[in-house]
């Protein structure tokens, strides 16, 4: 199995999984991450939301990042990290805050 990676500057595709200074960089790899791990999800304390765990690409392998409670942002909702297949490549879409549509 090959471990080729492609890197491209922001503006040539979707938001990247790495940052160089303030410039996001794309990371696409040619094999899928492992299945998500089961996690015990505790109710977040007031003012926090749950951010589920995900597989992070470290440059040569996937490393598990455990889920955690993160401070809530009023007027926004958390969109969790995810991997999506794009043709023959897998793309990591980083977790981020989206403006709530309420």
Six-digit token string for 9: 């500057």
Which tokens is 30 given? 């040619």
* Residue 20, pLDDT score: 52
Mean pLDDT, consecutive 10-residue stretches, the chain (102 aa), reads 38 40 71 94 93 94 96 96 94 93 72
Burial of 33 (0-12, 13-18, 19+ CB in 10 A): middle
- How many structural domains compose the chain? 1
Q: Which domain holds residue 40?
A: 5-99
For residue 100, the model assigns a pLDDT of 87
pTM comes to 0.71
pLDDT of residue 7: 38
């Amino acid at each position: 199995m090959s471990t080729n990676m492609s890197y491209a500057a922001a503006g040539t595709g979707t938001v990247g999984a790495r940052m160089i200074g303030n410039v996001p960089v794309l990371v696409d790899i040619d094999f899928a991450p492992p299945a998500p791990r089961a996690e015990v999800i505790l109710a977040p304390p007031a003012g926090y939301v749950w951010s589920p765990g995900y597989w992070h690409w470290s440059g040569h392998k996937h490393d598990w990042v455990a889920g955690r409670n993160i401070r809530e942002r009023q007027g926004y909702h958390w969109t969790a990290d995810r991997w999506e297949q794009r043709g023959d490549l897998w793309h990591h879409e980083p977790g981020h805050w989206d403006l709530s549509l309420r």
